[in-house]
Amino acid sequence: MNCLVTKETLNEFYDSYIVLSLSNQQTALFLRCVQRCKEIISAYKATFPCDCAQLDLLLWLRTHNLISIKDCLVAMSEVVKYMYDHFDEMYKAPKIFISHSTDDKPIVEKFVTMLEQMGVKQNQLFCSSVAGYGIPQGAGDLYDFIRNEMDSDNLFFIMMLSKNYYKSPVCLNEMGAAWVKQSAYQSILLPGFQYTKIEGAVNPRDMTFRLADKEKRNYALNDLKDRIVSHLGMVDDLSQNLWERFRDKFLEEVDCMAE
Q: How high is the pLDDT of residue 173?
A: 84
Q: How high is the pLDDT of residue 98?
A: 93
Q: How high is the pLDDT of residue 27?
A: 85
pTM score > 0.85 for this model?
Answer: no
The CA angle 136-176-171, to the nearest 5 degrees, is: 45
**What architecture is domain 95-258?**
3-Layer(aba) Sandwich (3.40)
Q: Where are the domains of the chain?
A: 7-90, 95-258
Dump pLDDT digits (tens) for 80-99.
Answer: 999 999 998 888 778 899 99
In which band, very low, low, confident or very high, does the pLDDT at 135 lie, cut at 50, 70 and 90?
low
Q: How high is the pLDDT of residue 25?
A: 75
Q: Tell whether the model's pLDDT for residue 40 goes beyond 90.
A: yes
* CA separation for the pair 254, 259 (Å, rounded): 9
In which band, very low, low, confident or very high, does the pLDDT at 227 lie, cut at 50, 70 and 90?
very high
47, HSE (Cβ side, Cα atoms, 13 Å) = 25
Dump pLDDT digits (tens) for 151-195.
Answer: 666 889 999 999 999 999 889 888 888 887 777 889 999 999 999
Q: What is the mean pLDDT of the chain?
A: 88
Q: Tell whether the model's pLDDT for residue 111 goes beyond 70.
A: yes
